[in-house]
Structure 1
Amino acid sequence: MKKTLLLLPLLFTISTFAQEIGDDKWGSWHMYFGTNKVSEKLSIHTEAQLRYYENGKNFNQLLLRTGLNYHINPNAIATFGYGYISTDPTFEDFRAFGDILLDDSKISEHRIFEQFILKNTVGQFKFEHRYRLEQRFINDKDFGDKDTQHRARYRLQVTLPLTDIFFLNLYDEIFLNLQDNVYGQNRLYGALGVNVTENLSVQAGYLKNHFPTANFDRLQIGVFYNPDLRKKKKE
């Protein structure tokens, strides 16, 4: 367990080396995640994220994602899903085309993903390993460019219950491109969580998002709602 816990700060140190701050603003990500149980083995993943270059303003990205989860057992879940992402990349990089400054650039992306989650517990620590493959179909609306990219992601998440209500959540996730420039990005996250009800929790925390030449600071607030949609059996 000690070796596993040491992996998070090690990855953080590697990804921080020789990088510059991407901007002087702290952005924010506002997120909703849902696992909606529809049968003993199946559930539907629902997700929506609004990301801002500044705290609650200056739109950066909208991400909508859904998928079908197959629960192999309580500690193993396989998912096949789809995501739509709309991005405005112009806060830090205004691109010029001829004499026109493109300050309203938009990039849209349709994404298919395959995912596998493994869970285990060591003492009070709850570990989650998430493996994800993505096929990304990207369209730059300004220049008419279309591109297809493939990416692999691995996330190690550790949750530590503090009480029945409060918990800590930490993760490190690395993104690897399956084409040129293999290293894509790394995300290091830490948050305090609150169990509001049995199937509803809220997390508030901080994300350090590292790219090959820059890093960004992001505040995060996430709502996690996991209802059981199966019809209750009549007594």
Structure 2
Amino acid sequence: MGCAKRFPCFVFFVAFFLSTTISYTQTNNENRSGSWLVLHGNNKIHENWSIPIVGILRHHDLFEKHEFAFVRTGVSYKLNESSTFTTGVAFLSSKNYTGSQEFKNATQFWVYEQYTLKSKSKTNIISHRWRLETRWKKSTNDLHINNRVRYRFQYIKPIYKNVHIKSFNELFLNLESPLFNQNRFYIGLGQTLSPSVKIDIGYLKNHFKNDDHDVVRMSLTFKTDFTKREVAEFVD
């Protein structure tokens, strides 16, 4: 049995290429970041209801100097086959290695509302996501409340059997001055490992007002269906 059947070999090649490239840029620019590890799950509990969960570990260097840990959950309601409404909470704990004011040493608690719209064809998946967030950000002796909106456009295209290209761009805007918060652009390769599990790895550019972060982003996506005997079921 070949390596491609036993494990997604392209992951090793892409990880090596991205880590080498970003390690080089880090030595030439101290405003650069290293890696994001993302776990994203959706757990169906009713015909139209599900519980999402997202966890992120971010490192200033590749898998070194922990910068922030993030967890988000809530409840989602499927309005129809193409749109979903979600509301929930999130928690973030951050340390600052880069000088970015967005991720200075602090803890954050969020409440969010989100609307997602998807369109699928035989060759691609396009999705739009709008989110409103209210964030309580606490540093040493300071508590600040921030409201912001986010819009993400995402495109997924199969390229060979169970391998696909995934790309998205997400714009963050504050509801108070300054208007611009940040922008994230991602492009990478993904693979479907089973009907309920996907992975992807690629390059993420996180742009702030005064600095940029280059990131190797690796994610694992899983979906479960607790309404059936077979718990794991793939749902696009």
5+ residue gaps, structure 2: 1-27, 231-236
* TM superposition shift of 1:106: 3.0
Within a 5 Å distance, the mapping from 1:113-132 to structure 2 comes to 113-121=112-120, 124-132=123-131
AA paired with 2:174?
A: N
Change (3 A) 1:94 1:212: closer
1:227 to 221, 224, 229: 224
* TM superposition shift of 1:124: 1.7
* TM superposition shift of 1:56: 0.2
Describe the SS at the equivalent of 2:172.
strand
AA paired with 2:116?
A: I
Encode CA deviations 1:92-131: one digit per residue, 9 max, x unaligned. Answer: 2399xxxxxxxxx730000000000001135622100000
Is the contact between residue 204 and residue 217 of structure 2 (CA under 8 Å) also seen in structure 1?
Answer: yes
The separation in 2 between residues aligned to 1:94 and 1:81, in whole angstroms, is 27
Aligned to 2:60: 53
Tell me whether 1:93 sits opposite 2:90 in the alignment. Answer: no
Tell me whether 1:196 sits opposite 2:193 in the alignment. Answer: yes
Is the contact between residue 22 and residue 214 of structure 1 (CA under 8 Å) also seen in structure 2?
Answer: no
Describe the SS at the equivalent of 2:46.
coil
Whichever structure has more helix as a proportion of its residues is: 2
Within a 5 Å distance, the mapping from 1:1-235 to structure 2 comes to 23=30, 25-89=32-96, 91-93=97-99, 106-121=105-120, 124-140=123-139, 142=140, 144-232=141-229
AA paired with 1:42?
A: W
Counting matched residue pairs gives 201
Is the contact between residue 42 and residue 52 of structure 2 (CA under 8 Å) also seen in structure 1?
Answer: yes
Q: Normalising by structure 2, report the TM-score.
A: 0.81
The separation in 1 between residues aligned to 2:185 and 2:100, in whole angstroms, is 27
Is the contact between residue 31 and residue 211 of structure 2 (CA under 8 Å) also seen in structure 1?
Answer: no
Describe the SS at the equivalent of 1:162.
strand
Encode CA deviations 1:27-53: one digit per residue, 9 max, x unaligned. Answer: 100010001001100000011110010
Is the contact between residue 22 and residue 215 of structure 1 (CA under 8 Å) also seen in structure 2?
Answer: no
AA paired with 1:139?
A: K
* TM superposition shift of 1:199: 1.1
Change (3 A) 1:148 1:24: closer
Encode CA deviations 1:118-167: one digit per residue, 9 max, x unaligned. Answer: 01135622100000000001110x2x100101000000000001233101
The separation in 1 between residues aligned to 2:209 and 2:63, in whole angstroms, is 26
Change (3 A) 1:124 1:87: same
Q: Which portions of structure 1, spanning 4 or more consecutive aligned residues, are displaced by more than 3 angstroms? A: none
AA paired with 1:38?
A: I
Identical positions, percent: 28
5+ residue gaps, structure 1: 1-20, 96-104
Stretch moving more, 202-211 or 118-127? 118-127
Whichever structure has more strand as a proportion of its residues is: 1
